[in-house]
Structure 1
Amino acid sequence: MSTEIKAPVFPESVAEGTVATWHKQPGEACERDELIVDIETDKVVLEVVAPDDGVIESIAKNEGDTVESGEVVGTFKPGAAGEASAKSSGDEGDSKGDDQASESAPEESGPKAPTDGEPILSPAARKLADENEVDPAAVHGTGKGGRVTKEDVQKHIDQKGSAPAVSGPSKPAADAPVAPVQPGERPEKRVPMTRLRASIAKRLVSAQQDAAMLTTFNEVNMKPVMELRKQYKDSFQDRHGVKLGFMSFFAKAATEALKRFPAVNASIDGSDMVYHGYQDVGVAVSTDRGLVVPVLRDVDGMGLADIEKGIIDYGQRAQQGKLGIEEMTGGTFTITNGGIFGSLISTPILNPPQTAILGMHKIQERPMAVNGQVEILPMMYLALSYDHRMIDGKEAVQFLVAIKEMVEDPARILLDV
């Protein structure tokens, strides 16, 4: 009996979504909890997985179609044998009578022993191996009874240095070499804006129209932090299992400064000013789908290692589109680092309803006057964009100076001076 494949129930802040990618097509076999379709909203990409072992029967919503919360996007037939599973069984003649047999004796009850020395592959693993021309006998199986899983095949591909397989149907157009542009040609390519990028564009324009945005600048000598990092980076990594970066220093310095200047940690709600007694710092992350800002909660109670681990985890999951909506809402302050792309200076745009955002930039060696002498120091420009309706210029400048002083003398963070 067929079951409906439904879009996830969206949060109240999300009205609708778009079918981004079908990873399985009608007739393809699926394993329980295997990803079958991505639904993209204006904030995150939600994954829909197979409810059981079976086959995709039909697709009701194609890629690019708009879907509402809980709407049916396709149908799924549990226990049915698809093309991939029939191929892996090696017995196409009996494939029509396998439906009832698979229901009474599913594959999880114990893998069948190979009859000719060929390893047992799951349907997903078989499909991935076929797409990448991988010899199943060369793959080491880590599943039950030596069964080769999709992850085993992908690991084998990565170790060989092969190009990663594209999930779902093959896309030869994307893999084909781009034809050289001939003299006189003026090629164009029109691509629909993703829902996430459209939402980002709307919020950025709104921020500039609705806020009295102003930016103040300063510069910070990174030499003390760089020397501290060089001295302790090995022992820090050995103890915490993560590298010591610069972002954690700025997050801690910003948190201490936010406690001293509450207006910078506030937000505007209509005609009300909301002062937050906690510091939830958002960290801007660039992805292929657009810019997202996951939030580190209660940074005041986090150590440098906790901050670094949180940033790495968010960065990895952001690239995979696996961040939850709750992880990208509710921040009180944002830090963005354009320096990783080489930006020397910029004016970051506010992330509403927050009233301030800190911009970090490239570390550049420059000649600086120190005690009447010229020294070459690693300097970074800092930019603080703020909402002048909420924050006065004096507070904004003093806030940025406080961050500068704490980064140039990290002991201030520990001593709260």
Structure 2
Amino acid sequence: MATEIRVPTLGESVSEATIAQWFKQPGEAVNADEPLVELETDKVTVEVPAPTSGTLEAIIAKEGETVEVGALLGQLAEGAVAAAAAPAAAKEEPAKAEEAPKAEAAAAVEVTVPSAGESVTEAEVGEWSVKVGDVVKEDDILVELETDKAAQEVPSPVAGTVIEIAVETGATVEPGNLLCKIAPGAGAAVPAAAPAKAAAATPAPAASAPATSMPPAPSAAKMLAEKGIAADQVAGSGKRGQVLKGDVIAAAAAGIAQQAAPAAAPVAARAPSNPSDEVREERVRMTKLRQTIARRLKDAQNTAAMLTTYNEVDMKPIMDLRKQYKDVFEKKHGVKLGFMGFFTKAVTHALKEIPAINAEIDGTDVIYKNYAHIGVAVGTPKGLVVPVVRDADQMSIAEIEKEIGRLGVMARDGKLGMAEMTGGTFTISNGGVYGSLMSSPILNAPQSGILGMHKIQERPVAVNGQVVIRPMMYLALSYDHRIVDGKEAVTFLVRVKESLEDPQRLVLDL
């Protein structure tokens, strides 16, 4: 019986992909969930696993071809693995002396790196919570993995004893890589060779590190030639540093052109510190999350024509409204009435009037979003993350406050996943909670706008010809001038100000 292998769903806005490479050839045996083929889109690379064990019978779509979602890639003949594996098993018969260790290893449960989303291809091993010989319960946390999006805790699948740790803290691993082995049962014996295996396994990540010189994906190579850009001038975001089509688009937007001149001069090495200062320094490796934050912020500056416009808002109407209804609101909805609900609602109203700020540039196209997924920047001990309140334009202030509270708890606990942090169309950043009076926020690419909130501070202002003291807040809107005109940006910020100074406008949808 033949099983069809087809192109899986690749995301809402992705309808086609390019065959990057086949990992198996016709006639080769495969196991269930073993990667068969790698697909490359303009955003990510995706591995298509075998739906069942068997033998690859035919390859329909060749490497380099462009295929649509649902297209037939190949066919898998089921039930042929056992026959294919028989000769290998026969060859292993002389090694009967190893049968006991093999049986013991088979009894152990292997803990591997879980999948963290389509666009996450590697993670960094954080601190281990256990060591070889420790007894663990089911769901006990074994180790924390850190990706460029979030931290992820790996629980124990069974109760038992840790008999091997395959990778050390700081190693880079990919989904499916072995993390450790657990022997079921609290009294399981730890093999004497286990510590040695763990130590020997540590150089493995370093050995795989140089494998970043993969050739560009087929569609990326074609676009590199068309735009006259050298492959070594583009930072690849694909697996093992592979340059994808989206990387080339971003590089072209940043104005990178092929240079016939000698290669760029290497970055100057850090000047050595004074010997008396070195003993007081501490060198700490940047986390994956911090590296990604640094790269994305710099990419946003290099790519977008970023500009910031400012205004100020009188917070007294909102503060009076909160004071009057905060107890009733909390009693009815089970959540405190904060400022973020008002600001998010004011932003969604303004986005309807100025849709360019809710859009993004994709190559030579502008994608207008008929929905508002608002990212709310949250500071955590490990860095800044931006969980997304989806369809905020369709939510009440109470629903927004509940969702922001839920996402904030997940962020602080390191529980955010890809589903909570992707797809945002606009971002709100509140530096005021840290005391910031004025700042210019950086865009969260590929979004075209970000609103910066700041500290509420009493200041003298003129109201109806009289100088009065009011609680004022500076607002800052950073926007991509390639798609948003100055008039649109100023109008957007004025609409937000009007909604906050006259909350009835939010109720009446004005």
TM range, normalised to the smaller chain?
Answer: 0.7 to 0.9
Identify the residue that residue 241 of structure 1 maps to in structure 2: 334
**2:418 aligned to which of 294, 309, 325:** 325
**Superposition map of 1:108-187 within 5 A:** 187=280
- The answer as to 2:398 corresponding to 1:305 is yes
Structure 1 residues 185 and 55, CA gap change in structure 2 (3 angstroms) = closer
More helix by share: 1
The residue identity in structure 2 corresponding to 1:306 is: E
- TM-score, scaled to structure 1: 0.75
What is the CA distance between 1:310 and its match in structure 2? 1.3
Instruction: Return the offset for 1:21.
Output: 1.8
Whole-Å separation in 1 of the counterparts to 2:180 and 2:278: 42
Tell me the equivalent position of 1:414: 507
Among candidates 282, 292, 298, match of residue 375 of structure 2? 282
Is 2:381 aligned against 1:261? no
- Quote the residue 2:467 is aligned against: 374
Q: Is 1:212 paired with 2:318?
A: no
Find 2:179's aligned residue among 62, 68, 73: 73
Alignment deviations for residues 75-113 of structure 1 (CA, whole Å, 9 cap, x no partner): 111123379xxxxxxxxxxx9xxxxxxxxxxxxxxxxxx
Runs of 5+ in structure 2 lacking a partner? 1-106, 191-275
Q: Give the fraction of aligned pairs with identical amino acids, expressed as a percent.
A: 58
Q: Which amino acid aligns with 1:205?
A: K
Say whether the 8 Å CA contact 2:116–2:417 is kept in structure 1. Answer: no
- 1:184 deviates by 8.7
2:486 is matched by which residue type in structure 1?
A: G
Q: Is the 8 A contact 2:126 2:170 kept in 1?
A: yes
Query: Is 404-413 or 25-34 further displaced after alignment?
Result: 25-34
Q: What is the Cα deviation at residue 10 of structure 1?
A: 3.4
Q: For residues 41 and 184 of structure 1, do their structure 2 counterparts lie closer, same or farther at Cα, with a shift above 3 Å needed?
A: closer
Cα 1:335/1:184, change in 2 over 3 Å: closer
C-alpha deviation, 1:14, in angstroms? 1.3
Contact 2:116–2:418 under 8 Å retained in 1: no
Distance 1:336 1:299 in 2: 16
- Supply the distance in 1 between the matched residues of 2:121 and 2:290 (Cα, whole angstroms): 16
Q: 1:184 to 1:54 in 2, by over 3 A?
A: closer
Corresponding position of 1:153: none
TM-score between both structures, scaled by the size of structure 2:
0.61
Whether the aligned pair in 2 keeps the contact of 1:19 and 1:38 (CA below 8 Å) is: yes
Q: Deviations over 1:319-362 (max 9, x none)?
A: 11100111100000000000000000000000001000000000
What amino acid maps onto 1:320 in structure 2?
A: D
1:52 aligned to 2:166? no
2:124/2:288 contact within 8 Å kept: yes
What amino acid maps onto 1:65 in structure 2? A
Q: Give, in whole Å, the separation in 1 of the partners of 2:304 and 2:327.
A: 44
- Give the C-alpha shift of residue 18 in structure 1: 0.5
Query: Which residue number in structure 2 is paired with residue 192 of structure 1?
Result: 285
| Residues 185, 20 of structure 1: alpha-carbon distance in 2 compared, 3 angstrom cutoff | closer
Asked which structure has the greater RCO (Cα within 8 Å, sep 6+), the reply is 1
CA drift of 1:185 comes to 9.0
Which residue of the other structure, out of 322, 342, 346, is the alignment partner of 2:439?
346
Does 1:357 find its partner at 2:450? yes
- 1:144 corresponds to: none
CA distance in 1, matches of 2:278, 2:292: 34
> Quick one: which amino acid aligns to residue 367 of structure 1?
P
Whether the 8 Å CA contact 1:28–1:82 is kept in 2: the answer is: no
Structure 1: unaligned runs, 5 residues or longer:
84-94, 96-182
Aligned length: 319
The match for 1:8 among 103, 109, 114 is 114
Contact 2:452–2:475 at 8 Å: present in 1 too? yes
Moved over 6 A (4+): 183-186
Aligned-pair distance for 1:186?
A: 6.4
